[in-house]
A and B are shown apart, each in its own frame.
Chain A
């Protein structure tokens, strides 16, 4: 089975690495689309730094929204484990990615053992745009909180005003039930994700949580739209001081979600080489780019349109690694579930760095 291709031609891995290194060495502004575990991310960022490139995650659009909640505002948060143990009132906000449904259902199947220890009640704050979310809400027997024709941020705004005792423009279904639930729950928790809505809506939600904390306690659980993307953001933060979208100029990192939006850079021909990673596999690079592409993808065939394709494994499946997990809200060491020969991103990136002129090893 081939693991490396130049164009559509299978080649030995060393040839693919040599060819890819040539492209990297001659690039004036390479851009990196990341999709790997912590160690793959560390090596890729180190390579981007060496080459003066820029990077973002494959799920960069929704990640940027999540990052913006923090860079613009901040908020009050708790960990998934604490919510499970302490919260008897859980409010699902908008759309929560399918990957997290099992976690929420596990909470639904357990009883809080700290705090008020009441049987858990679920609500669901709904906007016109959240359609998929209803399925989850039904499974959790969540009581809907919303109003016909109102978007999620609007519902949150109305709810916030209503809870503050202000007169509200629209009536929300079940707001009285929710008020009542708040009076008995000692640690209500709002569960949200980057998929829940635009940053402004997430900021409004944090305003609501802050209001509740004036007299009682409340918090929120952030379930990232994509765990691996959030892990990449955290790794990027300690390595460079910045979340993605970050680029290097004069070897210093700079964070600028507009300037270093990789898709934009490709469209506007600011970038001249795209290193695209997809360890989850089954993905294709975004269209629209006319610049050369190096693909590091979990695949058994060459990536269409790529000058070079190198097949890589995924941490936790093909090899051991470290990934962010929403189960614990932090990093977890993951073991290979089905160990394979597929190389890790970090080993391929390490080989690329070694094949560059100067032959220096990467610091990661």
Chain B
């Protein structure tokens, strides 16, 4: 099957091939224009932008905590079912089915679930396998489990830590590793209520910094393409910018990804002792090439916060709206908290909104800043189209700013920053850079040999509308979306690294689980066949 997209404005920064040109697809892959061949199918995309399918590196789309949020908030789902066109947040992407549908309609073709608890990996993968159309991937959580902490306390060799990390990645089918408030979940079980980079976990005497540094080094030694994905300490707290700055300063030449930096962009200035430190953090990021970050932009309205940072979520219970929450002290790296929340256009909400935008606009290199709302923590991913508009139009920012709290905005640099993202920069931030960060060479660009994940947007003055309803979307060459609606359902794959397990580590794991949990290791692991779909996984060769 040969498909030709003709007459479009192709935006393809990786191949320095941004130009009006045709795009050719043969049997699911992009190919150079074949000489003398006639296409089986031609789509006239003149007046359209053509980009690679978008990649979301951090969106909580499936697994135990996401499902518990559904359980806690059936009214949330009900409120977000399709409604008459384009009401705000008209759909939060709550079921697995909607998640795939809504992402595809916006031209997203790969999404990473960034917080998979190793012991509930099967649950996560069962959910991901039921998300249609798109490809998925997961990051396995490490850094709060007794096994890791004991290795570090007992001064075991880095080779043993590497074997353990590799075993976790392999047995959970992960693409990378995430550490969440390193050590805090373990400390919270011992009634510790606040935890910073140099605090130590009781019983283990290991600091948060030591956990992060050890895992960062291990991930690097193992050759995992995605650098350690770090959810730092003190999320959401006034003054958390200091923690973020210290974490950024601690990379020492080793790559590190800092998640949802917006939630750490807060200082203690002003009458309310809650101010923007975005400019300072942006400068720190600009100055340190080891660091990549994603934003976790806040948009206004009802959402639910879902995080494995159980200590932080427990502290947030008082702000829950509606007033019901789940706090889970999980085993190992599991657990977390579900706290529903409504972002209001008050002082705090306005400041958080502005901090996210400041970071987007003041971090100069689009290869190192990633487009996220930390779905659903800052906003549901369905708010992306509006966020694209804010980044690409300073007028749109000004217009929104007039509705917001002037005192809060006055403590930020936002009004003075006139930068507008170009389409080329959008293509880098949402396609090229995520593919590079995750080690996915087969996507994120439109060069020959890449898989044919292609998003076509009809140019128009309404930027949000353009990104909400892709004119055409192809996934692996299958036409899946037309005029903003899914026309064809298919099943994507979950991308994993699949490093071979070290035999001695498997033995050690068997003994550990039998002794500590009274259960054989097969209670905690699963065969691919448990997913009951043909080829649910695809290997990423690093």
Do A and B make up one complex? yes
B78 interface residue (CB < 8 Å to A): yes
Q: Which residues of A contact B191 (CB under 8 A)?
A: 186, 216-217
A75 interface residue (CB < 8 Å to B): yes
Is B74's CB under 8 angstroms from A71's CB?
yes
Nearest CB of chain A from residue B525's CB, rounded to whole Å: 8
Nearest CB of chain A from residue B527's CB, rounded to whole Å: 6
Q: Which residues of A contact B119 (CB under 8 A)?
A: 79, 81, 328, 330
B541 interface residue (CB < 8 Å to A): no
**Interface flags, A302-343, vs B, CB<8A=1, else 0:** 000000000000000000101001011111110000000000
B335 interface residue (CB < 8 Å to A): yes
Q: Which residues of A contact B530 (CB under 8 A)?
A: 320, 322, 333
Number of chain A interface residues as a range: 35 or more
State in angstroms the CA–CA spacing of A235 and B530 once bound together.
14
State in angstroms the CA–CA spacing of A273 and B68 once bound together.
32
Is B95's CB under 8 angstroms from A115's CB?
no
**A332/B523 contact (C-beta < 8 A), A217-B190, A239-B96, A364-B130 known:** yes
B325 interface residue (CB < 8 Å to A): yes
A38 interface residue (CB < 8 Å to B): yes
Q: Which residues of A contact B489 (CB under 8 A)?
A: 363
State in angstroms the CA–CA spacing of A11 and B159 once bound together.
62
State in angstroms the CA–CA spacing of A86 and B331 once bound together.
10
From A67, A84, A186, A237, residue with most partner B Cβ within 10 Å: A237
A169 interface residue (CB < 8 Å to B): no
Closest-by-CB residue of A relative to B69 is: A237
Checking A84, A186, A322 against B126 with a beta-carbon cut-off of 8 angstroms, the contacting residue is A322
**Interface flags, B393-406, vs A, CB<8A=1, else 0:** 00000000000000
Segment from B46-54, B272-280, B514-522 that makes contact with A: B514-522
Is B334's CB under 8 angstroms from A79's CB?
yes
Q: Which residues of A contact B523 (CB under 8 A)?
A: 325, 327-328, 332
Is A79's CB under 8 angstroms from B335's CB?
yes
B343 interface residue (CB < 8 Å to A): no
Closest-by-CB residue of A relative to B121 is: A330
B127 interface residue (CB < 8 Å to A): yes
Closest-by-CB residue of B relative to A328 is: B523
Closest-by-CB residue of A relative to B128 is: A238
Is B78's CB under 8 angstroms from A363's CB?
no
A194 interface residue (CB < 8 Å to B): no
Checking A213, A238, A243, A346 against B95 with a beta-carbon cut-off of 8 angstroms, the contacting residue is A238
A248 interface residue (CB < 8 Å to B): no
Checking B95, B324, B329 against A82 with a beta-carbon cut-off of 8 angstroms, the contacting residue is B329
Is A238's CB under 8 angstroms from B62's CB?
yes
**A79/B330 contact (C-beta < 8 A), A242-B74, A333-B530 known:** yes
State in angstroms the CA–CA spacing of A252 and B97 once bound together.
12
Interface residues of A in 213-241 (CB under 8 A from B): 213, 216-217, 219, 233-235, 237-241
From B119, B324, B489, B532, residue with most partner A Cβ within 10 Å: B532
A78 interface residue (CB < 8 Å to B): yes
Q: Which residues of A contact B326 (CB under 8 A)?
A: 70, 74-77
Is A219's CB under 8 angstroms from B71's CB?
no
**A241/B126 contact (C-beta < 8 A), A216-B191, A255-B78 known:** no
Checking B62, B146, B529 against A320 with a beta-carbon cut-off of 8 angstroms, the contacting residue is B529
A100 interface residue (CB < 8 Å to B): no
State in angstroms the CA–CA spacing of A233 and B325 once bound together.
19
B94 interface residue (CB < 8 Å to A): yes
State in angstroms the CA–CA spacing of A159 and B62 once bound together.
38
Is A77's CB under 8 angstroms from B328's CB?
yes
Is B70's CB under 8 angstroms from A238's CB?
yes
A184 interface residue (CB < 8 Å to B): no
State in angstroms the CA–CA spacing of A21 and B68 once bound together.
35
State in angstroms the CA–CA spacing of A213 and B523 once bound together.
31
B160 interface residue (CB < 8 Å to A): no
State in angstroms the CA–CA spacing of A322 and B327 once bound together.
26
A39 interface residue (CB < 8 Å to B): yes
Segment from A106-114, A121-129, A150-158, A263-271 that makes contact with B: A106-114
State in angstroms the CA–CA spacing of A81 and B68 once bound together.
19
B residues near A (Cβ < 8 Å) are: 62, 64, 66-68, 70-74, 77-78, 81-82, 94-98, 119-120, 122-123, 126-127, 130, 132, 146, 188-191, 203, 314, 324-332, 334-335, 338, 489, 516-519, 522-527, 529-530, 532
11 more A-B residue pairs beyond the given contacts A217-B189, A322-B122, A328-B519, with a C-beta to C-beta distance below 8 A: A71-B73, A76-B328, A78-B329, A78-B331, A81-B516, A85-B516, A186-B190, A238-B67, A238-B127, A240-B95, A333-B530
7 A-B pairs (CB sep. < 8 Å):
A70-B68, A78-B328, A81-B332, A81-B516, A82-B330, A82-B331, A241-B77
A residues near B (Cβ < 8 Å) are: 38-39, 42, 67, 70-79, 81-82, 84-86, 106, 110, 113-115, 186-187, 213, 216-217, 219, 233-235, 237-243, 252-255, 320, 322, 325, 327-333, 346, 363-364
The 4 closest A-B pairs by CB, nearest first: A333-B530, A241-B77, A333-B526, A81-B331
